[in-house]
Structure 1
Amino acid sequence: MMDICIVSHSEKIAEGLKELLSQMAAGVNVRTAGGIDGEIGTSVDRIIEMFDSVEGEALCFYDIGSSQMNAEMAVEMNDYQNITIVHAPLVEGAFLASVEIKVGKSKEEIIASLKENFKEKA
């Protein structure tokens, strides 16, 4: 089953979203990299640790600015072929993807659904 990775400037946002997804799509593995030492920010090293823990494929959602840049940098630095960074709203996108993972949709189907629902380049 595909994982969901959350990159947020806030540990509380990342953990809160993980809690929401765990209840709404039980069984989908949600990984987080939020905040830096209890403060606001993102860390490429923490994102790399999160990506390294993914055994199969994962869709990665991010909140703002440098979280996207750091997630993309982590992918480029380590040539992660199994991580797909998704350009969709953090909460709504991760929620939709988690539910669709739970019902067995493929990565391609989920990305198409995200594009349709959010009119973004997912």
Structure 2
Amino acid sequence: MGVPLYEAKAEFFRMLGHPVRIRVLELLSQGPMPVRDLLAEIEVEASNLSQQLTVMRRSGIVTATRDGSTMVYALAGPDVSDLLQAARRILTELITGREELLAELRQATTAAQAR
């Protein structure tokens, strides 16, 4: 019997759970990029970037092709970009909800202090 789907999903999200990986995926959503361009955009050591790219390549979320002496990385498919956009929408809603709650709390505190 295989791994339950919920466990496979949890493992997938764990793989995504690193800021450098998320940043790489955001950059690759714009199109394939050579490693040197990724390094220029992400302020990490080359060895750290290489390690993160290896994790993502092994998971199948990115692909790597050689162009002469340069490795060029790309998203394995458009669904990753869609997932990142969905995460952005969810975070925007969460932050907006928190701001509204904070405003209500401040208003209630001000009203209580005025009494």
Q: TM class by shorter-chain length?
A: under 0.3
TM normalised by structure 2 equals: 0.24
State the structure with bigger RCO (CA 8 A, min sep 6), 1 or 2.
1
Q: Which has the higher helix share?
A: 2
Structure ID, larger Rg: 2
TM normalised by structure 1 equals: 0.23
